[in-house]
Amino acid sequence: MGREIKVMVIDDSAVVRKVMSSILDRDPNIRVIATASDPIFAMEKMCKEWPDVITLDIEMPRMDGITFLGKLMAERPTPVVVCSSLTTTGAETTLQALAAGAVTIITKPGLGVDDFLQDSSDDLIAAVKAAARANMGAVRHTAQARTPPPDSDGPRTAMAQTTERIVAIGTSTGGTLALERILTELPRVSPGIVIVQHMPEMFTAAFAARLDSLCAIRVLEGMDKQRVLPGQALIAPGGKHMQLVRSGAQYIVEIKDGPPVNRHRPSVDVLFRSVARHAGKNAMGVIMTGMGDDGARGLKEMHDAGSFTLAQDEESSVVYGMPREAVKVGAVDRILPLSLLAGAIMRGSVRS
């Protein structure tokens, strides 16, 4: 048995508080120490006993979740799991919470709490355990280092010609801020990029749009048969797998249904394996912060196919799970801090 994780549940719905507490208390390593209907009540209770992890709703009375997050991260950074309704309208607000320092997202239903109990209990428990292991120093540092939007002196369009070079990136917990850090540092003349970020359905489109507004390159949610172009990054849509294929002299992505791989859809392994098969030595693979081992075996296939492979280092990772597993299986050529990954992508290193 591991260390007990003390959790506080903050949500204005009494039913959601009850259900989430019931789910979490089933795990012998988790104890819900308190619940609160809004952040004001929560702060009063936190003065008596501080939680290891907080689950947080965003839209609440008296103080919204974004404001609370700002106060929390400034005064005493604590791992936060955002619990947000699965709606397009709520996606942008949830992404603001991630940008403010929340570790990860769990979706909850607007209706049908019983279904939530049955379908999402494993995800909720896994998210809390991942958050408990989060490197909050990396969260805070990455949030503080966010790059402002680049100045623009003209329309941002992907370069017209294709390229043989492909960069495939896989990440999960802590990856939203890490991706923002990397992509905002890339110039318009950059290789075509394909990305899997573990994120629920309905959130990836808003995430891509947010990054697109901040970056010199174009950032889009990937669509089936969409061409991969220099100066452009395609993010796998939530709830679908994304694969790279070659069409003549061009690369395109295919968006497919299918069962979860390593408990994820989209899966990093699915993307990496397709890149190994269709791009090989013309590709670079980057595995970043995240819980679990999704992507490790796929990155090894890329490595064995001649791709140059990178892993984010432990110190800059929010959760050093996915990179660690990739290193363990011999999939990684170089381990770099987050601050050096964009430069490595642009240098286009090749294996000796």
Active site includes 278? no
Question: CB-side exposure of 304: number of CA atoms within 13 Å?
Answer: 12
Residue 337 tokens read as 């801090």
The DSSP bridge partners found for residue 180 are none
Positive/negative CA dihedral, 130, 203, 207, 298: positive
**Alpha carbon 341 to chain centroid, angstroms:** 16
DSSP letters, 40-99, are HHHHHHHTTS--SEEEE-SS-SSS-HHHHHHHHHHHS---EEEEEES-HHHHHHHHHHHH
Tokens of 243: 């694969």
- Which two tokens mark 322? 């996915």
CA distance 142 to 153: 27
Instruction: Pull the structure tokens for residue 249.
Output: 């002299």
Catalytic residue among 21, 85, 120, 172: 172
Closest by CA to 222, choosing from 260, 247, 196, is 196
Please indicate whether residue 22 is annotated as part of the active site: no
From the candidates 212, 294, 313, 333, which is the catalytic residue? 294
Q: Examine the residue annotation and report whether 153 is marked as an active-site residue of this protein.
A: no
Catalytic residue among 11, 57, 120, 198, which? Answer: 198
Cα 11 from chain centre: 23
Task: Kindly state the DSSP code that residue 320 receives in the 8-state scheme.
Answer: B
**SS3 per residue for 167-206:** EEEEECCCHHHHHHHHHHHCCCCCCEEEEEECCCCCCHHH
**Structural tokens at position 127:** 């998210």
DSSP 3-state assignment of 331? coil
Largest Cα separation within the chain, whole Å, is 64
- Give the residue numbers annotated as catalytic, written as ranges: 172, 198, 294
